[in-house]
Chain A
Amino acid sequence: AQSVTQLGSHVSVSEGALVLLRCNYSSSVPPYLFWYVQYPNQGLQLLLKYTTGATLVKGINGFEAEFKKSETSFHLTKPSAHMSDAAEYFCAVTNTGNQFYFGTGTSLTVIP
């Protein structure tokens, strides 16, 4: 079975500071991993995905994530936070193509 744990339901950073959102997964087979962002009153939007190949994945809006198999992690980072990054972020895992398992989400607040 697959599962996702997002450490920290709320993260606050200052504008211009590093953003680090943590995601650990549990999977019996090599996973496919995703990060989604959700703005208020909207659906989820894909930020980036890892399937195979390079373990450092670059996504939209300057975000990137690194797949670390030894740590079963897929943390999301952005070097410099912008006010527009304030949103809810979800990590998700799938390995069969049948089910996407989502974490409970991390709410990012950016302080001016």
Chain B
Amino acid sequence: EAGVAQSPRYKIIEKRQSVAFWCNPISGHATLYWYQQILGQGPKLLIQFQNNGVVDDSQLPKDRFSAERLKGVDSTLKIQPAKLEDSAVYLCASSYNANSPLHFGNGTRLTVT
């Protein structure tokens, strides 16, 4: 089966600019997650979708981050405006159902200068 697809792989922007990341989960996976992984740390959940509804966005900095999964398939994560501390790898993951293992994409490495 095809894995989780993410694009772009790398992105360099200046602070206060905006950026968007795209994720296409594994076909049939209802749950989609966005994680932020800062260098040297474990992944931190930003937002979780079940189909096209938000299950958990308690750790999403909503003043600058937004995410959507309009048709319950692919998803977009946006940052506007970016800050230096947003430099990280943004990982998308999907799972078939509750308690199923997560399948991760290769991530987008964001550098904010």
Contact = CB atoms under 8 A, between A and B. Distances in A.
Q: Do A and B come from one complex?
A: yes
Interface of A: 4, 9, 32, 34, 36, 41-46, 49, 51, 90, 92, 94, 96-100, 102-105
Residue in A44, A45, A103 with the greatest tally of chain B CB atoms within 10 Å? A44
Contacts, number: 58
Interface size class of B (residues with CB under 8 A): 20 to 34
A102 B98 contact: no
Given A98-B55, A98-B56, A43 B48 contact: no
Most buried by B among A34, A41, A104: A41
B43 A97 contact: no
Interface of B: 4, 33, 40-45, 48, 55-56, 91, 93, 97-99, 101-107, 109
A7 to B, nearest CB: 14
A104 B42 CA distance: 4
B104 A45 contact: yes
A92 to B, nearest CB: 8
6 nearest CB pairs, A to B:
A97-B98, A43-B104, A102-B42, A44-B104, A97-B99, A46-B101
